[in-house]
Amino acid sequence: MTTQGLEVIDHTVHLTHEWINELARRLEYASHRTSLRLLRVVLHRIRDHLSVDEAAQLSAQLPVMIRGFFFEGWVPKVTPIKERRGEDFVSFIHKQMDQTRDFRGVADITCVFDLLNARISRGEIEDVRARLPEYLRAMWPPP
């Protein structure tokens, strides 16, 4: 038991650190802050392509703290968005990662997808991928 008796908070902080550490290793980034930033940006853009129900189902498998990041700034009435090209998706992420020297585009976005494949159930990943545009499914390797 923690000194404050708030194990759920300690646990989600621990899980969040695990996710960020794993992503930083996959990306080979020195900065965990940059890894977290990329995770947040990619999760937001995925979320914005999903229906409210599918976003809620995906979020249920995220650690509580990452789930908070996932829903941060969400406006459900304007989703799902209708992005037409993969270049637009990558360009959006790139703009959000501005002033980040480490960001390498699609390769880094794929690292986030690989993390999600490793941490989220196969069935949920398949459901999410099935609801995404073809260009995004092509970017996201199957689990």
CATH of residue 106's domain is: 1.10.490.110
pLDDT of residue 6: 80
**Which stretches of the chain are assigned E, i.e. beta strand?**
none
Apex CA 34: angle with CA 143 and CA 82, to 5°?
55
What mean pLDDT is reported for the chain? Answer: 93
Under the banding of pLDDT at 50, 70 and 90, the label for residue 33 is: very high
Residue 2 domain flag: no
Under the banding of pLDDT at 50, 70 and 90, the label for residue 112 is: very high
Residue 1 domain flag: no
Distance between CA 71 and CA 60 in Å, rounded? 11
Residue 56 domain flag: yes
Place of tokens 């990452």: 66
Under the banding of pLDDT at 50, 70 and 90, the label for residue 2 is: low
Structural domain tally of the chain? 1
Residue 78 domain flag: yes
pTM as predicted: 0.92
- Please tell me what DSSP assigns to residue 143: -
- Give the residue with greater pLDDT, 135 vs 2: 135
* Domain carrying residue 124: 7-139
